[in-house]
Amino acid sequence: MSTAVGALHARGVRLGYGRTDVLHGVDMVAREGRVTGLVGPNGSGKTTLLRLLFGALRPAEGEVLIGDRPLAQFDRTELARSMAVVVQEDSGDTALSVAEVVLLGRLPHHSALGRYSDSDHAIALDALRRVGAAHLVDRDLSELSGGERQRVMVARALTQQPRYLLMDEPTNHLDIHFQHEILQLTELSQTAVVVLHDLNLAARYCDDLVVLQSGHVVASGTPEEVLTTELIKDVYGVRATIVVDDGIPQFLFAPRFSPAANHG
């Protein structure tokens, strides 16, 4: 089968847990060659939507497509050759070394009995260098801090050399330097979808944004189009002042109502 080509779509997807819907007929598109950010308050459905996009969950209604082909038509190996995922529950509870974990990213490109080649090892080491974790190569994953593990998991995803890179809060546990370093790496994939809480990072590194609130898409477009002070007030309940830095909007936040106003 050929490698998947095209935008990543969600069309009318609905998903619930029990009697509670988490997503209500969501439409979105991650355009090819661009970084799409999923943003919104806690509980808005960002991670659930991401899980639908890579097939960990199936919608009760609607569908996810790569190009014009439904995701359900892809077998696991075919999908793994084109899509890499970094999720929050990746943990260090394993006896594998960092080198072994990162090399797992090459498995979709091998037959069941295939051995790692020199090229595979070079790709894995290059990915570790890109995330600033080459010095960890001989350590056990279980010995690492949360931030170190996060960089290793991103390196594993990059080792797959994916066409689509999907990441759920990849900057979690990382200091400011590595937050920016990791998000710069989204440019290495042809299409990326990233769940982010930090609107300043989203505005700086995403080409497009999808804003979710209570399981609905309330806005989509470029950061400049989407992240208005009015939207931030309505969706997040805070006041925002926009500062433009080298053409990129950045935000200073304050409570919507001052303590003095509430208690005066």
- Gap between the Cα atoms of 194 and 36, Å rounded: 6
pTM here is 0.90
Tens-place pLDDT, residues 22-34: 999 999 999 999 9
- Gap between the Cα atoms of 149 and 103, Å rounded: 15
Strand partners, 244: 249
In which element (H, E) is residue 236 found?
Answer: helix 229-236
What pLDDT was estimated at residue 1? Answer: 32
Ordered structural domains, the chain, with CATH: 8-227 (3.40.50.300), 229-264 (no CATH)
Is 90 exceeded by the pLDDT of residue 261? no
Tens-place pLDDT, residues 188-236: 677 999 999 999 999 999 999 999 999 999 999 999 999 999 999 999 9
- Gap between the Cα atoms of 127 and 152, Å rounded: 9
What pLDDT was estimated at residue 89? Answer: 65
Distance of CA 217 to the CA centre of its chain: 17
In which element (H, E) is residue 156 found?
Answer: helix 146-159
Q: Cα-Cα-Cα-Cα dihedral of 136, 171, 249, 257, to 10°?
A: -140
pLDDT above 90 coverage of the chain, percent: 77
Contact 152, 102 (CB under 8 A): yes
